[in-house]
Amino acid sequence: MPDFDFLLTDIKRQKQIAEEALAKAEEIGRLLKEGSITDTNAQKALQESKESLLSLASSLARNANATTDSANTVLEIVKRSSY
């Protein structure tokens, strides 16, 4: 039976990065909402950063889920072929 530990480690890391990006985006959103940042250019830059982080988090989460699905499919095929 193949060892899929490397794949599980990669999936966990993708999810961790997605969670970190989401947390940063939420922090930026909070700062913008509180009005802590008054410079218009800084607000715009932070808004763009927030949107990029949310997009990154979403993409990583979707990729991790797709990788999990693929790994499960491969594992099932390997199990069936070993009988």
Query: Which of 51, 48, 59 is closest to 18 using CA atoms?
Result: 59
Residue range 2-6: average pLDDT? 69
pLDDT (tens digit per residue) in 20-43: 999 999 999 998 888 888 888 898
Residue range 6-15: average pLDDT? 83
pLDDT (tens digit per residue) in 43-74: 899 899 999 999 998 888 888 888 888 888 88
* Confidence grade of residue 7 (pLDDT, cut at 50, 70, 90): confident
* Beta carbons of 60 and 21 less than 8 angstroms apart: yes
pLDDT at residue 55, as a whole number: 92
Query: Which of 54, 59, 29, 32 is closest to 43 using CA atoms?
Result: 32
Phi, psi of 26 (to 5 degrees): -65, -40
Q: Which domain holds residue 31?
A: 5-81
Torsion of the alpha carbons at 66, 71, 76 and 80, rounded to the nearest 10: 140
Q: Please give the model's pTM, rounded to 2 decimal places.
A: 0.69
